[in-house]
């Protein structure tokens, strides 16, 4: 079944056409990679899906529901979680608290019940703390759970960002360059966690990256953008040999 359906979206910023008639589908159990040269429109596409930007034309649907014009917090509530190219953690908060913050879109306690910390507010806090601890175990970061997020290496910060996204219990996970700034070992770990998120937790993943080795190894399908236009949407093996893709990356 199709989880995400993006149909013919256009968006421009002044005189710059960032996306032009881009359509993609993401199916259940799928890992979709989005690649392209710098400035191709990859992050703009992620921003449109997650509600940070609203396209000038076209439609975006999640599980058949139109989310094209919804604000980012409503899109998150409906089940779209994301990470950012530039790490956006709360640096002075612990790893555990950062991951807990991702669950706020699911919490229903009001200010008073949380302040008193009794009844429903307490039960909800305990429930989501258990969820956060489970994610910490899943991502193998137990040893830094109480460490301020700003004092840990970038590779671990990337994991914490993924953990915070998972805490919102998403239907779809968007990862904006999760391998950026990582060494070879850290990239291998991140690739393994992306596969585990997809296979063990059943969450479809859309990710942007420039590491072609990772893209070809873990993705089921690859979408290629060039100057805001989709030029390929095929299996990794076919994309690797596509003349348009080779031209976009390497020129004539």
Domain residue limits at 80: 2-250
169-191 pLDDT, tens digit per residue, is 999 999 999 999 999 999 999 99
How far is residue 208's CA from residue 40's CA, in Å, rounded to a whole number?
Answer: 11
* pLDDT in the model for residue 123: 78
The model's pTM: 0.91
Between strands 221-226 and 31-35, the pairing is parallel
* pLDDT in the model for residue 126: 84
142-155 pLDDT, tens digit per residue, is 999 999 999 999 99
Question: How many structural domains are present in the chain?
Answer: 1
Calculate mean pLDDT across residues 215-225. 95
Residue with tokens 């989880």: 3
* pLDDT in the model for residue 125: 79
With a cut of 70, say whether residue 119 has pLDDT above it.
no
- Domain of 130, CATH number, reads 3.40.50.300
The sheet with strand 172-176 has its strands ordered as 80-82, 172-176, 205-208, 31-35, 221-226, 229-234
């Amino acid at each position: 079944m199709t989880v995400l359906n993006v149909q013919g979206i256009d968006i421009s910023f002044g005189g710059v056409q960032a996306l032009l008639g881009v359509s993609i589908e993401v199916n259940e159990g799928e890992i979709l990679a989005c690649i392209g040269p710098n400035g191709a429109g990859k992050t703009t596409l992620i921003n449109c899906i997650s509600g940070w930007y609203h396209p000038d034309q076209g439609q975006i649907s999640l599980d058949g529901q139109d989310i094209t014009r919804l604000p980012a917090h409503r899109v998150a509530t409906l089940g779209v979680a994301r990470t950012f190219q530039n790490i956006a953690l709360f640096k002075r908060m612990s790893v555990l608290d950062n991951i807990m913050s991702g669950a706020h879109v699911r919490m229903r306690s009001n200010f008073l019940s949380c302040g008193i910390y009794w009844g429903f507010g307490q039960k909800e806090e305990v429930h989501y703390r258990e969820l956060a601890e489970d994610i910490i175990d899943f991502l193998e970061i137990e040893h830094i759970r109480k460490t301020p997020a700003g004092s840990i290496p970038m590779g671990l910060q990337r994991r914490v960002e993924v953990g915070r996204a998972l805490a919102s219990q998403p239907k779809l996970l968007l990862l904006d360059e999760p391998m950026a700034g990582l060494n070879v070992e850290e990239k291998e770990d991140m690739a393994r966690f992306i596969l585990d998120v997809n296979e063990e937790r059943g969450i479809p993943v859309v990710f942007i990256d420039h590491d072609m080795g990772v893209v070809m190894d873990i993705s089921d399908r690859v979408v290629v953008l060039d100057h805001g236009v989709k030029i390929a949407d095929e299996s990794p093996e076919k994309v690797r040999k596509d003349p348009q893709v080779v031209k976009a990356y390497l020129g004539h």
